[in-house]
Amino acid sequence: MPNQKIQNPSMQVPKTPQMNERDFLNDMLSTEKYMTNAYTIALHEASHQHLYDDILTIFNETQQKQRDLFVSMFQKGWYKLEAEDQQKIQQSYQQHAGYSNQFPYNGTMQ
């Protein structure tokens, strides 16, 4: 079952030089992803609690908007995901499960 696409049915999008709804949503989604990443860095480096709290609020709003845009695009069939082979998932799981012995605190995350 390699290269199986996970998506809703595609909607027809006119092919014109003007930006269409899909183009606008894709642009907005890319911007929200960029902003979420930038706010993550700012959260790591905020030295004042009130600043951290304000950035965290903005980050959460941005993250929710990113999710809303993704869901909208996925529902319209404009965002596709590739299904991975179950054997590859199991192999990756086994490989990464072995890394837990490298964690502090007796191999568990706290």
| CA distances to 10, 79, 107 from 14, in Å | 12, 17, 54
Per-residue pLDDT tens over the stretch 52-97 = 999 999 999 999 999 999 999 999 888 877 888 889 889 888 888 8
| DSSP H helices in 2-109 | 21-45, 49-75, 86-97, 104-107
Q: Confirm whether pTM is higher than 0.85.
A: no
- The CA-based angle 59-60-61, given to 5 degrees, is 90
pLDDT at 93: 87
